[in-house]
Amino acid sequence: MRGVTASIPSPAAEDYALIAPLLLDWYDRHARTLPWRIAPVAGGQAAPADPYRIWLSEVMLQQTTVAAVKPYFEKFTSRWPDVAALAAAAEEDVMAAWAGLGYYSRARNLVACARKVAERGGFPATEAQLRALPGLGAYTAAAVAAIAFGQRAVVVDANVERVVSRLFAITQALPASRKLIGQYADRITPHTRPGDFAQAMMDLGSGICTTRQPKCLLCPVANHCAARAWGDPARYPVKLPKKPKPTRQGCAYWIEQDAAVWLVTRQGKGMLGGMRSLPDDGWNAGSDGSGQPPVSGPWLDAGLVRHTFTHFALEMSVLRFQGSGPVAPDVAGEWWPIDRLEDAGLPTLFAKAATAAINAD
């Protein structure tokens, strides 16, 4: 099979039909055990999955590893066991529980979606209806429809992109190739067991068809893989060179008084929106910070923390206030007990800054 670029050739239908049975048979024997997953039933459809657990896991897994998500998923489902409980939660509590997972707009959308679902009495069962819920993009809607409701939906995440790109040796580079990848994924998605098939593709990409050094000898569809036939599966998916990220400079300020630290709540939209954090000097993706502290007086340099966001890298100096007497920061916030700082749900960046400030001499 030759590599393809911008259009799909028309091979015999049986060439596509072979892939799903082979992959599902492999999945029946090798499916990962995950806290949100219903184990497959060999040769048949697994029991219906809880749409709440599938939706929650899929939102958490966006741009995040399974290993990182597992403890958060367990914490969330223990505290909010169903969508009604999550819908009734205070947004600030959900944001605090989300701290460390990153991409915090997902947490805000999580609350908005839970409230919408609770209002309508449950999750809708079709991909189109799911797509209309707050924060559900094409991938999440397809995943919930297929896995929780057994609807035939084309589920394409990063793992599936890689598998499909290799199966058909797609030479067009990402992201332009995504439409073509979706078309090929549609061709091989079965009408029976679509949820198991979607999870099988994810598992194949995660454990066998890996980014580097794919384990082709263990792959159940290796004999149908064009990239393997061409001898260089790791070349796919083709990607354009990454543009270098700019590095921004900024400051964060630790202001302590009576065993409490001054925390602010960031604006609901924008970088780390809605999260509690230390005051900072206004750094953002487009510019460095102003360097202006919220209190005048002596400051101790407590070190430098580095963090990489999607579009830029940040080098943030941590300054600890050294003045004495009552303090009145000129930025709105609250005094938070230092011995309960973990309950504040600081994003990873500011958790690192807090540690630096506490450990400063």
Rounded to whole angstroms, the Cα distance separating 153 from 128 reads 10
**Nearest 10 degrees: CA dihedral of 153, 159, 163, 164?**
40
Phi then psi dihedrals of residue 124, to 5 deg? -70, 155
Residue 173 corresponds to which amino acid? A
For strands 313-321 and 299-308, give the pairing.
antiparallel
C-alpha–C-alpha distance, residues 348 and 353, integer Å: 9
Q: Which residues contact 223 (CB under 8 A, 6 or more apart)?
A: none
Q: Which two tokens stand for residue 114?
A: 């839970």
User: Given strand 299-308, what is the order of strands in its sheet?
Assistant: 247-254, 313-321, 299-308
Assess contact for 353 and 318: CB atoms under 8 A. Answer: yes
H or E, element range at 358:
helix 348-359
Catalytic residue among 58, 119, 127, 334: 58
Contact 123, 144 (CB under 8 A): yes
Site of tokens 């001054």:
262
Residue 247 DSSP label: E
Give the tokens for residue 351.
């958790």
Told to judge if 342 belongs to the known catalytic residues of this protein, a careful annotator would answer: no
- The catalytic site residues sit at 58
